[in-house]
Amino acid sequence: MKLNWGTGIVLAFIVFISFIMYFIITMNVNDKYDHDLVTEDYYGEELVYQNDIEKLKNSKKLTENIGYEKTAEGLKIVFPKNLEYKKITGKVFLYRPSNKQLDFESIISLSNPYLLIPNNRLVDGRWNIKIDWQYNGISYLYKKSINY
């Protein structure tokens, strides 16, 4: 059988379309390629982002900011020592970029100048931590990407 230009072009189109169909089906079926948005209400979050900017500015004005350390018990979030820790309120949100089911939020209720997140709540890998906290009526925000 002789291969002419018309047959070659049709075969090239068939191979190209087959590759594209394979690619589309693989991306839709394989869980390895399943990624979620950072937040479900993306546009609603964007509208209140100016508040976050103000809270971040307040955090930069502090003489000492929040710190963290990995201990045998878990992740220890240490609040500034010059503040009275019993007056600190707010929320801690830990976001796992690779698995939405591991995300969790915790309310800040301190009996020590630090907050301990136990090891059983955290899986090794990358976490985005967001601490939205208040002290004496002023709101602060701490954001950090950590490897646990």
| pLDDT per position as a tens digit, 11-29 | 999 999 999 999 999 888 8
| pLDDT per position as a tens digit, 94-128 | 888 877 788 888 888 888 888 888 888 888 888 88
Answer for the pair 82, 124: CB distance below 8 angstroms, yes or no.
no
| pLDDT per position as a tens digit, 126-146 | 888 999 989 888 999 999 888
Edge-to-edge order in the sheet of strand 138-147: 104-107, 89-95, 126-135, 138-147
Decide if pLDDT at 43 tops 70. Answer: yes
DSSP string, 125-143: SEEEEEEEEEETTEEEEEE
CA distances from 105 to 20, 57, 77, 133, 137 (A): 41, 23, 14, 13, 22
What values do phi and psi take at 92, rounded to 5? -115, 125
Beta bridge partners of 142: 131
Decide if pLDDT at 51 tops 90. Answer: no
**What is the pTM assigned to this prediction?**
0.67
Residue 35: predicted pLDDT:
64
Q: Pick the more confident residue, 90 or 42.
A: 90
Decide if pLDDT at 32 tops 80. Answer: no
What H or E segment, with its residue span, contains residue 104? strand 104-107
Residue 36: predicted pLDDT:
63
